[in-house]
């Protein structure tokens, strides 16, 4: 079946603009994760959804970052008033089961955000 998809693949924003990044997880996957990957670094956790419930948002770097998954499938990561330090690749991952970190996560291709 189809894997995790993300759109857009590339986004250039001027500093101060708002952006919205979309993630379509694998159908039927309960868990959805967002990660941020700076150049030359490993991904870092941002937030986690179990169905439509956002259970962990401890990794969001500031209140300019907001994520939602209103119907328990597609998720959107929104960044308000973008700053240059927000430039990174934003990765979405989904997993079949919930909790406990026991199940394999499948990643999308990512959205590369460049803030000028």
The nearer residue to other proteins, 19 or 32, going by C-beta atoms, is: 32
Structure tokens that stand for 113 in this block: 């955000």
Q: By CB under 8 A, name the one of 23, 24, 86, 108 that touches other proteins.
A: 108
Among residues 44, 85, 96, 114, which is the contact residue for other proteins, using CB under 8 A? 44
Q: Answer yes or no whether residue 72 interacts with other proteins by CB under 8 A.
A: no
Distance CA 115, CA 21 (A): 14
Tell me the closest approach of the beta carbon of residue 60 to other proteins, in angstroms. 12
β partners of residue 89? 37, 112
In sequence order, what are the residues at sequence separation of 6 or more whose Cβ sits closer than 8 angstroms to the Cβ of residue 45?
33, 34, 35, 58, 59
The yes or no reply on residue 90 touching other proteins (CB under 8 A) is no
Among positions 48-67, residues that touch other proteins (CB under 8 A) are 48, 55-56, 59
Strand 10-13 relative to strand 111-115: parallel, antiparallel, unpaired?
parallel
Nearest to 29 by CA among 11, 52, 8: 52
Number of other CB atoms surrounding residue 91 within 10 Å = 22
Q: Which of 11, 95, 113, 115 binds other proteins (CB under 8 A)?
A: 95
* Contacting residues toward other proteins, per CB under 8 A: 4, 31, 33, 35, 40-45, 48, 55-56, 59, 91, 93, 95, 98-110, 112
């Amino acid at each position: 079946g189809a894997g995790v998809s993300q759109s857009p693949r590339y986004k250039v924003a001027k500093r101060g603009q708002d952006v919205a990044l979309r993630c379509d997880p694998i159908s039927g996957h309960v868990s959805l994760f967002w990660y941020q990957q700076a150049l030359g670094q490993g991904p870092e956790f941002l937030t986690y959804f179990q169905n439509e419930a956002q259970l962990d948002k401890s990794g969001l770097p500031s209140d300019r970052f907001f994520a939602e998954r209103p119907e328990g499938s597609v998720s959107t990561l929104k960044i308000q008033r973008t700053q240059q330090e927000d430039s990174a690749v934003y990765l979405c991952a989904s997993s079949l089961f919930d909790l406990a970190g026991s199940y394999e996560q499948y990643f999308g291709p990512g959205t590369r955000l460049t803030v000028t």
